[in-house]
Amino acid sequence: MSATTTTHMRIVRARAAGGPEVLAVERAAAPVCGPQDVLVAVRLAGVNFADVNTRRGTYGGAPGPRGLGRDVLGEVVEVGECVRRLRPGQRVAGFSTGPAYAELAVAHETLVWAVPGGVADEQAAAFPTVGQAAYHLLVTASRIREGESVLVTAAAGGVGSLVVPLARLLGAGRVVAAAGTTERAGLAGADEALSYDDLGSWDDRGRAAAVDVALDGVGGDARRAALGAIAPGGRLVHFGNSSGDPEELPAPRAQRERGLGVVGFHLEFLRRHGRAALATSADLLLGWLGTGDLTIPVHDVLPLERAGDAHRLLESRTVRGKLLLSVGPVPEVHRGA
């Protein structure tokens, strides 16, 4: 199909690396839809901690203005000439290639999935990063077995709040939620809720209840506490560093003595090398969201213009579940002859 000749669109950009105040709505040309891409009129964009890191410049990259966001929910308005799976008019959710905090976003056809009719917009918009990460943390990285116990840090956050119900759907045993405060840990609905302080000072009874698998995307004190809660022969999966503290892992000798498995996880690896696995899990996750077996807590939906406030909230450690940006009406897309 021919190229889009739409005028301009609204997009949120970070004018430079910095705090939430660097985010501003600008006007930009619509992105170009390549042969294997779809162009999506974005209805909702997900806000993830990775976006905060992009805004801060933690992920490196060229200095200067940059777009943000990877999670999109919207309608396909154009498909590239080689696209076979999707067609204009379909409601899709998934990962965009370019910025998702925008009225129009380009995505490779293998990284967005048609959303079944029974799934609400907000649930579909919330699922790409946190749903896929939580699922593959448990299945691909941890290789969780029936009945094994799991601990997750930042349990009230985006990824954490999905690990708890998914662990149950996948047949795990006891699920332990850890968070900055006991109250936040309690929001996750796990079998046990502990602050990092409580977890770090587990007594003998606590240690006897050590877990098979700990999942940590926080680092710092949270990771140290999680490590202390892993049973001999257990596994640690590390997938992020939202605390901003220097990243630490047990020394090789300590790993050997404890029989500890240490696994790193990054969705980007699956986006590059595991697209079939992501498609399978997208089917499962969207299916569970449709039947109501899985529900993603949505903390709030803010308008695109308030992306800076969304980042402030995410950095305040008060969000429960997922934050979304509502993009609103999009400019008409005029296709060339």
CB of 166 to ligand NAP, least distance (A): 13
**Residue 32 to residues 25, 35, 114, 330: CA-CA distances in angstroms?**
20, 10, 21, 16
CB of 303 to ligand NAP, least distance (A): 20
| Nearest residue to the partner ligand NAP, using Cβ | 157
**138 in Cβ contact with 172 (< 8 Å):** yes
The two structure tokens encoding residue 148: 């094994």
Q: Which is nearer to ligand NAP, 42 or 156 (CB)?
A: 156
Which residues are CB-contacts of 62 (< 8 A; sequence separation ≥ 6)?
none
CB of 6 to ligand NAP, least distance (A): 31
Please count the other Cβ atoms lying within 10 Å of the Cβ belonging to residue 80. Answer: 19
β-bridge partners, 91: 75
Residues 129-148 that bind ligand NAP (CB under 6 A): 129-130, 133
Q: Which is nearer to ligand NAP, 5 or 58 (CB)?
A: 58
Helices vs. strands in the chain: H and E counts, helices first? 11, 16
Residue among 326, 317, 325, 306 at smallest CA distance from 157: 317
Residue 90 found at the interface with ligand NAP (CB under 6 A): no
The two structure tokens encoding residue 235: 């596994």
Pick from 69, 80, 131, 157: which binds ligand NAP (CB under 6 A)? 157
Which of the stretches 45-53, 57-65, 83-91, 98-106 binds ligand NAP when contact is defined by CB under 6 A? 45-53
In sequence order, what DSSP letters do the residues of 263-330 get, joined into one string? EE--HHHHHHH-HHHHHHHHHHHHHHHHHTS----EEEEEEGGGHHHHHHHHHTT---SEEEEE--S-
Pick from 42, 104, 154, 215: which binds ligand NAP (CB under 6 A)? 154
Which residues are CB-contacts of 181 (< 8 A; sequence separation ≥ 6)?
195
Q: Which is nearer to ligand NAP, 67 or 180 (CB)?
A: 180
Which of the stretches 10-18, 64-72, 200-208, 215-223 binds ligand NAP when contact is defined by CB under 6 A? 215-223
Q: Tell me, residue by residue from 218 to 247, as one string, x for binding to ligand NAP by CB under 6 A and - for no binding.
A: x---x----------------xxxxxx---
Residues that bind ligand NAP (CB under 6 A): 48-50, 129-130, 133, 154, 156-160, 179-180, 184, 217-218, 222, 239-244, 265-267, 314-315, 317, 319
